A and B are shown apart, each in its own frame.
Chain A
Amino acid sequence: MSNKKTLFEPIIHNNPVTIQVLGICSALAVTTQLKPSLVMGIAVTVIITMSNLIVSLIRSFIPKKIRIIVEMTIIATMVILVDQILRAYLFDVSKQLSVFVGLIITNCIVLGRLEGFALINKPLPSILDGFGNGIGYSLILVAVGAGREILGAGTLMGYSVIPQSLYNAGYENNGLMVLAPGAFILLGLIVWFQRAVTGHYEEE
């Protein structure tokens, strides 16, 4: 597979959330607003790229029996290390991020890419694969986050975007969108749309 394909395929055609069904938990938990969705997207992209690189570098030394525990240790170390450094140098950013630390460690996209790609590929393609999957994940997160914030609260990044005249005409914010069922329904519709466009069908 060419490097270019490795980088771009996960963004649309093999998207980690909508096609590979990975990382749903965090896609639900943080997407009530656009801002946390962006923070989470960036954080996961960084972590996944770094751990893909490390695992790819030591891939031939890892005993198969204990590979999962080794991978988890590496992921968790990276996440906590990043958190510690942010806490010392970018305290305000770290306050935003510390909520997500647990969610990043258990984000199955990271483990999924380590298992599925980095364990059997060279470092450079692994970096590209990690980055591509991170971006693909962030895209979905941002789409859901923006949708939920606009429909649920009438704002985007905290600024109101729905004109007052619409409210005067009887429009109301949809409180359901802020709750979890709203996330499921929006995510389901995005999956529908994405698969209708790319033509990826699941046979049941």
Chain B
Amino acid sequence: MLEMISLGIKSVFVENILLAYFLGMCSFLAVSKKVTTAIGLGFAVVFVMAITTPVNWLVHEYLLKAGALSWLGPQFSEVDLSYLNFIAFIAVIAAMVQIAEMVIEKISMKLYTALGIFLPLITVNCAILGVALFMIERKYTLGQSTVFGISSGIGWMLAIIAMAAIREKLKYSNVPKPLRGLGITMLLTGMIAMAFMTFSGINI
């Protein structure tokens, strides 16, 4: 239990998927203009991570990895489908995003209109694929993967909300015109990333 908590804290703060590994940058830069939309997208990412990470774990464990099909019978124990890893993970992510879209549309129209435009963005959010690949690389168990997925999502959400808050304040400052928007956001992200580098080396 304690180990799970420390894994969670580590993935939210010390090894923040966005600020330490720089995954999921595109939507971070494009959708951090307003705090409200940032919160919306943040929750959507947490939601998708929480579902896709365990599903991807199961797909990898029981379908794709070398010898994974042995539950079908001993003759399958030599089958190695791991070259399908990428396509399977991305398909699971895209399918989950689309199912989430349909479900949200049925349940709450208000939430759907708020989140609707972000859903395609989530599919190509490399943070989600990154989490799937990390969990395999680090040989996490199903429980660890789920914790890792959810806390990475939370870390991503915190980062984008922080950025949106800074950008809302930035409205009142006199930034040179060509630097407005993407340019200044990049410079800011560079500084935040520098600050986050001080976390590296902390062991929890």
Does a CB–CB distance below 8 Å link A and B in the complex? Answer: yes
A64-108 contacts to B (CB < 8 Å): 65-66, 68-69, 72-73, 76-77, 79-80, 84, 101-103, 105-108
Residue of A21, A103, A196 most packed against chain B (CB within 10 A): A21
Q: How many residues of A contact B (CB 8 A)?
A: 50
Chain B residue contacts of A195, Cβ below 8 A: 178-179, 183
Contact check, A204 vs B30: say whether CB atoms are below 8 A apart.
no
> Which A residue's beta carbon lies closest to that of B191?
A181
Residues A66 and B121 in contact in the complex (CB < 8 Å), given A21-B182, A184-B186: no
Which residue in chain A gives the minimum CB-CB distance to B88? A76
Instruction: Tell me if B23 is interfacial: C-beta within 8 Å of chain A.
Output: yes
Size bracket, chain B contacts:
35 or more
Please, which residues of chain A bring their CB within 8 A of the CB of B181?
A: 201-202, 204
B179 touches A25 (CB 8 A): no
- Point out the residues of chain A lying under 8 angstroms from B178, CB to CB: 192-193, 195-196, 199-201
Whether the pair A25, B22 counts as a contact (CB closer than 8 A) is yes
Q: Is the interface of A mostly helix, strand, loop or mixed?
A: helix
Mark each residue of chain B from 169 to 204: 1 if its CB lies under 8 Å from any CB of chain A, else 0. Answer: 011000011111111111101110110010000000
A182–B189 Cα distance when bound, in Å, is: 10
Given A22-B26, A24-B29, A185-B186, CB of A72 within 8 Å of CB of B167: no
CB distance from A126 to the nearest CB of B (A): 18
Q: Is the C-beta of B24 less than 8 angstroms from some C-beta in chain A? A: yes
Selected from A25, A68, A77, A80, the residue in CB contact (under 8 A) with B25 is A25
> Are B86 and A25 neighbours in the complex by a CB distance under 8 Å?
no
Chain B residues lying within 8 Å of A28, measured Cβ to Cβ, are 22, 25
Q: Within 8 Å of chain A (Cβ to Cβ): is B95?
A: yes
Interface positions of B (Cβ within 8 A of A)? 22-27, 29-30, 33, 83-84, 86-87, 90-91, 93-95, 97-98, 102, 119-121, 123-126, 129-130, 133, 167, 170-171, 176-187, 189-191, 193-194, 197
> Can you list 25 residue pairs at the A/B interface with Cβ under 8 Å?
A21-B29, A24-B25, A25-B23, A25-B24, A25-B26, A28-B22, A65-B98, A66-B98, A68-B94, A69-B98, A101-B86, A102-B129, A103-B126, A106-B129, A181-B190, A184-B187, A184-B189, A184-B193, A189-B183, A192-B179, A201-B177, A201-B180, A201-B181, A202-B181, A204-B180
